[in-house]
A = this chain, B = another copy of it.
Amino acid sequence: MASFLGTLFRITTFGESHGKAVGVVIDGCPPRFPLSIEDIQAELDRRRPGQSSLVSQRKESDTIHILSGMEDGLTLGTPILLMVNNEDARPKDYDEMAEKFRPSHADYAYVQKYGIRAASGGGRASARETVGRVAAGAVAKQLLRARYGVEVLAFVQSIASLSTPIDPNSVTQEMVESTPVRCPDSDMAQQMISLIEEARKNGDSLGGVIALCAKNVPAGWGEPVFDKLEADLAKAMLSLPACKGFESGSGFAGTLKTGSQHADEFRSDAEKHVTTLSNNSGGIQGGISNGMPILCRMAFKPTATVMTELRTVDVEYENTTIKGRGRHDPCVLPRAVPMVEAMAALVLIDHALRHEAQCGNC
């Protein structure tokens, strides 16, 4: 129950950080779709550790293997198993962690729940679990683009107190990928890189905010009550490691406006194409897309593993201290960008199929 997501385009991820493999099964993918393996690999490469000095130095090729669901480059409509082997697990780095609970990690909570945990590498609580999400998200992205022209784009908006005022609608993937920190504002990107490098040297870590923009989403996707489009996006984002906040459109800042200031007035052009003059709604009204760009922002806390000594308890619940070891990201945000895009794409393709099922033939 913990490990699947989606109603019609349904994924189940599997694998521990230091187990044999991690991956995903996709059930419900439309048939006869020419899936590009290269595009899946490209997304995994954006997520991969070791891609820059800003992230974990674990060495993983993250080569994708497709074990089922395709033939001659086309999807069969049957479950697609995407798998990546774990190549550079170093369990010895985790000997101390097997005896002590790392503060702000999932270790303690796992043991309270299950009475057992895969101590090495954080098990399923590791960011390595997101390999399956990103691989499945790459499939979703291809479907969204080919069928609907939908583009999903995320970028780093802030690191600690460094924040770019860039307009999400103006950002391109090239701008995002032009620096390893994945902030499309190149001046701000340099400052962010310096700040992260400094945090790493101090054995400390940083958090920040990622913005997401989904363009060309047709009006009508989403559901009006519990499965509101922004509710499902919120869930998908909060399910990512280290994510602690979500806002849609104007979000928390929108609470400072009055209703008349906040209203997104409608205008129609000569072709009766309707848009809104502002987009405080973030492209979603009543849980349903309104044809404007979908905009949301996610807060990621600073990485829990730091190289300073912290107070904690051991597995016998005796007080002790612990100091971080192992290879960790001083800041998860650069690698979280493709994760955020993947989660958004998974939510959107699921709602696209749901919409067609209920309303497609009317």
Contact = CB atoms under 8 A, between A and B. Distances in A.
Contacts of A272: 316-318
A109 B14 contact: no
A302 to B, nearest CB: 4
A254 B301 contact: yes
A71 to B, nearest CB: 5
A116 B31 contact: yes
B245 A238 contact: no
B362 A353 contact: no
Contacts of A261: 302
Given A109-B289, A251-B244, A78 B227 contact: no
Contacts of A170: none
A168 interface: no
Interface stretch (A42-50, A55-63, A198-206): A198-206
Interface in A275-323: 276-277, 280-282, 284-291, 299-306, 308, 310-313, 316-319
Nearest to A324: B259
Contact of A234 (B109, B209, B234): B234
A103 B276 CA distance: 9
A356 B1 CA distance: 13
A204 B7 CA distance: 39
Interface string A59-73: 000000101110100
This protein's copies in its complex:
4
A304 B259 CA distance: 6
Contacts of A224: 2, 78, 106, 110, 113, 124-125
Measured as residues with beta carbon below 8 angstroms from the partner, the interface class of chain A is 35 or more
A118 interface: yes
Contact of A238 (B246, B258, B302, B304): B246
A207 B247 CA distance: 14
Interface in A100-153: 101, 103-110, 112-118, 123-125, 129, 147
Contacts of A69: 14, 16
Contact of A27 (B2, B205, B291, B316): B2
A305 B281 CA distance: 14
A310 B117 contact: no
18 contacts: A12-B25, A14-B68, A14-B79, A16-B71, A32-B114, A71-B116, A108-B266, A112-B218, A204-B258, A204-B260, A207-B256, A209-B255, A226-B235, A239-B287, A245-B246, A259-B306, A280-B301, A357-B360
Given A31-B358, A241-B286, 10 more contacts: A1-B28, A30-B362, A77-B114, A106-B288, A231-B239, A245-B255, A255-B299, A259-B306, A266-B312, A268-B313
